[in-house]
Amino acid sequence: MDNGSYQKLLDSLLQCNQHFMDLAQGQGQLASQAVLQQSVQDINQAIEKTSAQPQAMVEQQLQWWQSQLQLFQNTMLRHGGQPVEPLVQPQRGDKRFGDERWSELPWFDYIKQSYLLTAQQMQQSIDAIDDLDEASRQRLQFFTRQAVNAMAPSNFLGSNPELLQLTLESGGDNLRKGMEQLSQDLLKSAGALNVSMTDSDAYQLGRDLAVSPGKVVHQTELYQLLQYSPSTEQVAKRPLLIVPPFVNKYYILDLQQRNSMVKYLVDQGHTVMMISWLNPDERHQALDFDDYVVDGVLSATETIEKLTGETEINAVGYCIGGTALACAMAYASAKRMKQRIKSATFFTTILDFSQPGELGAFINDTVVSALEQQNLEQGIMDGRQLAVAFSLLKENNLYWNYYIDGYLKGKSPVAFDILHWNCDNTNVSGKNHNTMLRRFYLNNELMQADAFTVRGVGIDLSRIKVPTLFVSTVEDHIALWQGTYSGMQQLGGDKTFILGESGHVAGIVNPPGGKYNHYLGAGSNELDAEQWLAQTQQQAGSWWPSWMGWLAERNVLDPVAARTLDDSLDNAPGSYVMKRLASTMDNVA
Do the Cβ atoms of 97 and 112 come closer than 8 Å? yes
Contacts of 347 (CB under 8 A, 6+ apart): 316, 317, 318, 319, 322, 471, 508
SS (H, E, C) 84-139: CCCCCCCCCCCCCCCCCHHHHCHHHHHHHHHHHHHHHHHHHHHHCCCCCCHHHHHH
Q: How many CB atoms lie within 10 A of CB 171?
A: 13
Alpha helices, DSSP H only, in 151-270?
161-170, 173-187, 261-267
How far is the C-alpha of 405 from the C-alpha of 166, rounded, in Å? Answer: 12
Distances in Å between the Cα of 158 and the Cα atoms of 78, 100, 153, 155, 554 are 22, 17, 8, 9, 62
3-state secondary structure 361-377: HHCCHHHHHHHHHHHHH
Beta-strand relationship, 234-235 and 560-561? antiparallel
* Helix, strand, or coil (residue 173): helix
**Sign, CA torsion 327/333/338/340:** positive
Report the distance separating Cα 475 and Cα 454, nearest Å: 32
Closest CA to 33 of 459, 370, 287: 370
Helix (H) or strand (E) holding 254: none
Q: In a 3-state reduction of DSSP, which class is residue 241?
A: strand
Distance, in Å, from the CA atom of 79 to the CA atom of 94, rounded to the nearest integer, reads: 26
Residue 317 sits at φ, ψ, to 5 deg, of -125, 135
Half-sphere CA count of 580, side-chain side, radius 13 A = 14
Q: Which residues contact 205 (CB under 8 A, 6 or more apart)?
A: 251, 573, 577, 578
State residue 346 phi and psi, 5-degree precision.
-120, 115
Residues designated catalytic: 319
What's the rounded Cα separation, in Å, for the pair 454 and 328? 9
Residue type, 201: D
Name the DSSP letter for residue 293. I
